[in-house]
Amino acid sequence: MTGAAFAAVIATLAIPAGAMLLLAFVPSWRLAARLNALASCATVAAAAVLLFHRPAPDGLFLVDGLNIAFLLLNGLVGFTTSLFSASYIGHEIGTGRLAPHHLRLYHAMYQAMMLGMNLALVSNNLGLMWFGVELATLSTVMMVGIYRTPAAIEASWKYLILGSVGIALALFGTILVYLAAQPALGGGMKAMQWTGLLRHAAALDPALLDVGFVFLLIGYGTKAGLVPMHAWLPDAHAEGPTPISAVLSGLLLNVALYALLRFKILLAASHASIAAGTLMEGFGLATLFFAAIMLYRRRDIKRLFAYSSIEHMGIITFAFGIGGPIGNLAGLLQMAMHSLTKSAIFFAVGHVAQAKGTQKIAEISGLTASHPFLGWTLVAGIAAIAGLPPFGIFTSEFLLITSTFARAPLLAVLLGLGILLAFGALLLRMTGLCFGAPSPGNAPSSAAATPLLLHLGLVLAVGIALPGFLYDWFAHAAALLG
């Protein structure tokens, strides 16, 4: 590992770790918000260095074509969300919904979450990756309940209990994979390293690998919001601060699915193991249809987009299940486009809820007339997340459907029907929220325009013309998935 590359890897962990400790003692919430944004900016800069200085794997860290994409996406959305968070939190303090002394916990836990996700992404060790996902989960649990209302505390507890069950199942699955590796690699750290496991995949016990993957699919699938382990997600989105909704949908779900993908790669290299893709296809389609139906029944705007996140995790899981060069490429592109689009939607929704003083869909209408910037950006965001051209999600879903038609036409029909079902619900809600007679409400004190426009601009640019270097990057990562 070269000096620059090693320093960049360490920086992606040391910066949020140091910021977490510092922000726990900063009394001024205004200063803390600026420091939070500065630390997030430094983290994404460190991740960007890894594009040019790729380290060789060692016993603890692994940076390859797959996780570098996640690291950069993680850093970018973490930084833009910290900018949005500063204006959002300022309004919440002004209205008395949040007390200034609560924000030391909020900002410290924000950086703890970034630390946990980055640790999970760069780890070359099964146990260290599990610990990173758990750290990210526990930190977001604490932020979900920061309003201290009965509903927020209930949502936080539900998230904690279901998340703990999920991570316990993932731990058990990790132990089974370790046991499967022991005969070939011996005990200790060598049997926990991804690079060593992949080199000796054919020698691993296939029976233990199969059982382990089932536990891992359920465990990490809980964190990814797959049905039927999704119940924590809508409550956490609805009751927690909107910046946390943005990072939950845009980042944490991706990290949980990334962990699952690492094990899928391992099973694919062990030719005697079960076809992990078939299980993922089933979970993906079930998640897609359930979420699409539930979109029609939502009465809370943040719950609406929480179920939209569940829907997209179903599509992404299905894409990686169907696999192949195009399926994996579509899944990776869908993950990136969903992260950028959904976080932008939550940026808009957060300011809309502050402007209208409510999250109830029935009490929000005519946004394009009463709040033109928020209204039209929300229209663009909903059009993008629904898969309309020329946005990037249209590109990824088109690739996925055409690839699936070539391999399994019936599954492609089911996938298309699920996407159309969700599209109808989103179109219905968009017309009510953004058009018609404006509902009462005051203009928000400030709106974080830059993160919103940056995210939507990137999604639009990718949809119009996917740059060659970006295509090569995603194609290389797709090839690693098999």
pLDDT at residue 475 tops 80 = yes
Residue 356 pLDDT: 87
What lies within 8 Å, CB to CB, of 258 at 6+ separation is 66, 67, 70, 120, 121
C-alpha to C-alpha distance for 380 and 359, rounded to whole angstroms = 20
For 391, phi then psi, to 5°, come to -80, 160
Q: What is the pTM of this model?
A: 0.94
Provide the mean pLDDT of the chain.
90
Residue 355 pLDDT: 86
What pLDDT band is residue 476 in, cutting at 50, 70 and 90?
confident
Least confident of 209-213, 272-276, 462-466: 272-276
> Are 310 and 250 spatial neighbours (Cβ–Cβ below 8 Å)?
no
Residue 442 pLDDT: 65
User: 10 Å Cβ neighbour count for 442?
Assistant: 11
What pLDDT band is residue 250 in, cutting at 50, 70 and 90?
confident
pLDDT at residue 461 tops 70 = yes
Share of the chain above pLDDT 70, in %: 98
Residue type, 238: A
Residue 443 pLDDT: 60
Residue 54 pLDDT: 82
Helix, strand, or coil here: 89? Answer: helix
Largest CA distance in the chain: 69
Helix, strand, or coil here: 482? Answer: coil
What pLDDT band is residue 354 in, cutting at 50, 70 and 90?
confident
Residue 204 pLDDT: 87
69-84: pLDDT as tens digits: 899 999 999 999 999 9
What pLDDT band is residue 446 in, cutting at 50, 70 and 90?
low
pLDDT at residue 183 tops 90 = no
Q: Give the pLDDT mean for 187-195.
A: 85
Q: Give the pLDDT mean for 8-29.
A: 93
Q: Give the pLDDT mean for 172-190.
A: 88
pLDDT at residue 445 tops 60 = no
Residue 478 pLDDT: 87
Residue 444 pLDDT: 56
> Are 404 and 412 spatial neighbours (Cβ–Cβ below 8 Å)?
yes
> Are 206 and 270 spatial neighbours (Cβ–Cβ below 8 Å)?
yes
Give the residue extent of every domain in the chain: 274-481
pLDDT at residue 188 tops 90 = no
Give the angle 106-367-438 at the CA atoms, nearest 5°: 125
> Are 296 and 224 spatial neighbours (Cβ–Cβ below 8 Å)?
no
The H-or-E segment that residue 84 falls in is helix 67-95
pLDDT at residue 17 tops 70 = yes
What pLDDT band is residue 102 in, cutting at 50, 70 and 90?
confident
> Are 443 and 355 spatial neighbours (Cβ–Cβ below 8 Å)?
yes
Q: Which of 334, 298, 262 is nearest to 429 (CA)?
A: 298
For 299, phi then psi, to 5°, come to -115, -5
Q: Which of 229, 290, 298, 294 is nearest to 257 (CA)?
A: 229
What lies within 8 Å, CB to CB, of 201 at 6+ separation is 266, 269, 270
Q: Is 362 exposed, middle or buried (0-12, 13-18, 19+ CB in 10 A)?
A: exposed
What pLDDT band is residue 2 in, cutting at 50, 70 and 90?
low
> Are 342 and 246 spatial neighbours (Cβ–Cβ below 8 Å)?
yes
Q: From the centroid of its chain, how far is CA 446?
A: 26
pLDDT at residue 94 tops 80 = no
Least confident of 260-274, 321-335, 373-387: 260-274
CB hemisphere CA count around 437 (13 angstroms): 4
Residue 456 pLDDT: 95
> Are 61 and 124 spatial neighbours (Cβ–Cβ below 8 Å)?
yes
Helix, strand, or coil here: 123? Answer: strand
Residue 190 pLDDT: 85
What pLDDT band is residue 65 in, cutting at 50, 70 and 90?
confident
Residues making up the chain, counted from first to last: 482
> Are 439 and 370 spatial neighbours (Cβ–Cβ below 8 Å)?
yes
